[in-house]
A and B are shown apart, each in its own frame.
Chain A
Amino acid sequence: MSSKNEFLKAAISPKIVKVSVYFEAARPSITDQVDVIQYIKQMQIRRVVYAADLKVDQIGRCLRFFDDAQGRSKSETMGDLMAFLKSMTGRQLVQKEAKVYTIQILRLIKSLEVVDDELYLTLDGQRLLGYCQNNRTKFLDYLGWLLLTRAGWVKVVSEIEQLRRGMLYGLSMKHLVELLVDNLKKDKLLRRTDSWHMSALIDCLVTLRILKPWDPVQMRYDTDKERLYDLLVRKTFT
Chain B
Amino acid sequence: MQALINIDPKERLVVIPQSKIRFNVRVDHPKTNWKRIEIHINYNPIFSRPPCKYVITEKNEINMSSLTEELTIVEKRLGEVPLGDIIVNVDGEERSQYLPTVRIMSLDAYFEEKVAEKLRELEFEAIRLGGPGRPDVEANPKTEPTQRVQVEATLEDHYNVQRFRNDIGKFHHFKRARQYKRLLIVVNSDKISDVVVQQLRRTTDPISLIRYEHLENLVSHFLQGRVSKYQVIAVLMARTGLVDMENLT
Task: Enumerate chain A interface residues (CB-CB to B < 8 A).
Answer: 1-4, 7-8, 11-27, 53, 55, 57-58, 61, 88-91, 173-174, 197, 199, 203, 215-217
Contact = CB atoms under 8 A, between A and B. Distances in A.
Contacts, number: 144
Given A17-B7, A197-B143, A199-B142, A25 B32 contact: yes
A90 to B, nearest CB: 4
Nearest to A222: B10
B26 A17 contact: no
Interface string B2-36: 11111111011101101111111111101110000
Contacts of A17: 7-9, 13, 21-24, 83, 99-100
Contact of B189 (A3, A23, A27): A3
Nearest to B73: A12
Contacts of B28: 20-23, 26
Contacts of B30: 23, 25-26
B13 A21 contact: no
Interface stretch (B42-50, B177-185, B223-231): B223-231
B107 interface: yes
A8 B28 CA distance: 36
Contacts of A19: 5-8, 23-26, 86, 99
A189 to B, nearest CB: 22
B7 A18 contact: yes
Interface string B146-186: 00000000011100000000000000000000000000000
B11 A7 contact: no
A14 B20 contact: yes
B240 interface: no
B94 interface: no
Contact of B19 (A15, A26, A58, A174): A15
Nearest to B41: A19
A2 B7 contact: no
- Which 6 pairs from chain A and chain B are nearest by CB? A57-B225, A90-B228, A14-B22, A14-B20, A22-B28, A23-B30
Nearest to A10: B114
Contacts of A216: 127
Contact of B231 (A2, A24, A90): A90
Given A4-B156, A13-B20, A58 B225 contact: yes
A159 B243 CA distance: 41
Nearest to B211: A2
Contacts of A91: 228, 230
Given A7-B188, A199-B123, 6 more contacts: A2-B213, A18-B24, A19-B5, A19-B26, A19-B86, A90-B228
